[in-house]
Structure 1
């Protein structure tokens, strides 16, 4: 049913249009025209002024032919670097870059799947409820585009993000709450060779606090990491200032908060004991979600996979995606694997067979929802 040549040609065309994060404008304009050509109503929001990114978000709507539920599919249009001048290569039914750039299957494979699914629906007069296709900017820069998106622009109350790696068949049933922490410790500068006793080392304060801290894998649901430590101006000055950037992730929001308080408490207690000063900023990046086998979007995707002879794999992710923001804003959403591998590297690739399977799955989801 899937037109493999057309699908591959579309994907290859898409990845050759540059759209590194913050520079999505030309690609978004191309997509606006492409979706309109396929008969969809395209609406563009006005979030560029808020995000500072290279384009607005798009919602492309295919009107219903039945009274079935409205659903949406979502992909992001931006890529990581190096993503300029991508030259896709096909070898042994696998698509690679030429090794000097990423391939941008993350997430242009998802967009190719969207376009092919729409063409299959049109060609086969497939009955469907309202179908909405969300194209967001700035996902690779912290889900910036979808955070600024007005969810009231969607008719659908649930949907599917096409943006997870690995073989087709995985359904993301859990994703963590993610918090960022910025910690600044202020000590007292002094000449380290003449009068170090008069100094208070911000680095020593940080080291003492961290030595007592639970980090890494906290439990099966929770992780914590300090990824950046910077400070100091010279070897002969007791370090006056240290800045650290950390994160906490947990499938359980209460565990996430408990870990944040654990880290804050140790930093604050140690700083006070050693005579320094401290400021800690906590930024909740996004909320988590957790589904079970009876959650509607999970049931739909699982049933569609069974219809295609696939075995569904329910997975919990340690990372976030636009699906986190949809769920946070009341739109039940899971993230489906679409077959790409080794993303964010110049070794990224996608097997053509996985691209075909992911398209067949999206099309089957449309049919399943229409038949219920």
Structure 2
């Protein structure tokens, strides 16, 4: 649930067109507060609907922006989920390698280097459920490689299959960061549909 700097003293502005941004001197914190809003709103809607649904387990981690420190040390015996959706994807990502090993000294070119990364298979239940939910809602949900680090990497290491979903944040990590009311509602709809599948 952390937010990058500068965030202290943040003032959110809601425009008439539904755009939400900061006053311009801080980040908005849509990364990842928009995901938190979507989760809380959709869970309330699902519970109020009275419809049968999957067991709901919600994990809000700390230190995600600092190399997923919270999800790396979480006690996974406290959850039973084998499937997860992580709301942490903007329009732009950076390539993330989990570990890099190579070389023996700083003044010698190494003869080899070992990189470790994580990848979700397109045949996973998380992916097929996502595609089904998008179809039901009439969303055009596409799949792409994120190449970014997220809590999903830690979940996978602990036997939880997952998928990182976009949660309506733009220009993340900048004072130009924004989201829209429409994106927040659509995100909540999608999560709700995933819970009901």
Q: Structures share a fold, TM > 0.5?
A: yes
CA distance 1:346–1:306, shift in 2 (3 Å): same
Q: Offset of 1:318 from its aligned partner?
A: 2.0
2:120/2:163 contact within 8 Å kept: no
Task: Give 4+ residue runs of structure 1 displaced > 2 Å after superposition.
Answer: 175-180, 264-271
TM-score, normalised via structure 1 length: 0.48
* Other structure's SS at 1:159 match: strand
Aligned length in residues = 193
2:71/2:151 contact within 8 Å kept: yes
- Which residue of 116, 120, 145 corresponds with 2:41? 116
2:6 is aligned with 1:82: yes
Correspondence list, 1:320-359, <5 A: 320-359=149-188
Q: Offset of 1:312 from its aligned partner?
A: 2.0
- Which residue of 118, 121, 135 corresponds with 1:291? 121
Which has the bigger relative contact order, CA under 8 A and spacing at least 6? Answer: 2
* Other structure's SS at 1:141 match: coil
Q: Offset of 1:299 from its aligned partner?
A: 0.3
What residue number does 2:70 align with?
Answer: 145
The CA distance in 2 between the partners of 1:101 and 1:119, in whole Å, is 30
2:167/2:183 contact within 8 Å kept: yes
Q: Offset of 1:266 from its aligned partner?
A: 8.9
2:53 is aligned with 1:133: no
Specify every segment of 5 or more residues in structure 1 that has no aligned partner in the other structure, as ranges: 1-76, 181-259, 272-281
Q: Offset of 1:126 from its aligned partner?
A: 2.0
Q: Offset of 1:265 from its aligned partner?
A: 6.9
The CA distance in 2 between the partners of 1:112 and 1:361, in whole Å, is 13
Specify every segment of 5 or more residues in structure 2 that has no aligned partner in the other structure, as ranges: none
CA distance 1:265–1:154, shift in 2 (3 Å): same
What residue number does 1:179 align with?
Answer: 99
Larger Rg: 1
2:62/2:70 contact within 8 Å kept: yes
The CA distance in 1 between the partners of 2:84 and 2:42, in whole Å, is 15
- Which residue of 30, 41, 48 corresponds with 1:105? 30
